[in-house]
Every structure is written in C-alpha cells, then in structure tokens.
Homo-oligomer: A and B are copies of this chain.
C-alpha cells in the first residue's frame, strides 16, 4: 500500500482496458497485465474488482469537477461561466478519449454507480452547475423565476448526451467545436424572457 503511484498506475491501466473491452468483459488479470504487474498485486491496492471501477470514477470525477471549478472561477459572469463550462467539459473528454469511452459508456452500469458510492461525486458537479445558474439569476442574466434544479439537470443532460453521441459515433468529429452552439442554445433558453 506504500506506493500511491502504483495505485494510480492500476487506475490508468483499468481505464485503457475498460475502454477497450468494457467492464464486464475485462478480467482482473487483463488490468494487471496492462499495468505490468501480477494479478494478485491488484488486491494490495483495491479490495475488489468493483472497487477499481468505483475508485476510478470517484477520482476522475473529482478531478473533472475540480478542474472545472477552478477554470470558471476566473470568468466575470454566469454567462461566461456557462460558456467556459460547456467547452471545457467537452474538451476534457476529447483530450482523453479512453476516459471518455469509460465515463460515457461503461460507467453507467446500473445501480452500482448512480446510486451508492459515486452519487456524491455527481452531486458535486450538479452543485457546481447549480451555483453558476443561481449566480446568473442573481446577476439578472437569467430568468428570475428560473427553476434552477431543472435547468441544472437539463444542461448536464444536454452535455452528457452530446458526449455520449460523440463517443458512440466513434468520435468522428470534434466535440469541443460544438460547445459554443450548445452553450448558446442553453443560455438563450434560460435568459430573461424576450417578451418580458
């Protein structure tokens, strides 16, 4: 348990293997081979095969949300923050296609993730989006009566589906490039009503 690098190596190896074969089709021994260690060694760092996936998700998600949080902090207002958020969300996935594959396709496995251990990490992302929207409302950039929770889920859902479609379409185009269009549609959707 000494070497935290070893733990990290296993996670990275798991990302590659899961991206290639899917979680259920991946053997613990596949991950070990990919990481260049013996199968038994995995169990010095992770309790079970599931533990690898859960940890992978938590780590990556925490990193993801952390990066986003830091990046949008500099933006002057909520509108700019949303634009930045969308583009970054896309860019980070595009920059790491194997992770994108795992996050968008493999990590949706049933009860195990959305419920249970990983829900905290998803909650953190929702909280981040929500706070930006609240800020926009306070700044008068978004509708005063905006149902923030609903809008939060809509934005996340929209980005998530964009990413999933991109992954399933074998990444045959630039996801990041579509960021501005996504941001604009959403921003107009939550803007002060034109008739108001």
A72-115 vs B: 1/0 string, CB under 8 Å? 00000000000000000000000000000000011011111011
Number of interface residues of A (CB under 8 A): 42
Of all chain B residues, the one with the shortest Cβ separation from A104 is B114
Select which of B105, B165, B191, B193 is within 8 A of A111 by beta carbon: B105
Residue A23 lies at the interface, judged by CB distance under 8 Å to chain B = yes
Of all chain B residues, the one with the shortest Cβ separation from A112 is B22
In the complex with contacts A157-B158, A161-B157, A188-B193, A182-B150 CB distance below 8 A: yes
Select which of B24, B114, B151 is within 8 A of A185 by beta carbon: B151
The CA of A150 and the CA of B162, in the complex, are separated in Å by 7
Residues A168 and B24 in contact, CB atoms below 8 Å apart: no
Residues of chain A in range 153-179 having any CB-CB distance to chain B below 8 Å: 153-162, 164-165, 168, 178
Residues B150 and A178 in contact, CB atoms below 8 Å apart: yes
The CA of A181 and the CA of B143, in the complex, are separated in Å by 12
Q: What are the 6 A-B residue pairs with the smallest beta carbon separation, nearest first?
A: A157-B161, A189-B189, A108-B108, A194-B194, A154-B158, A157-B157
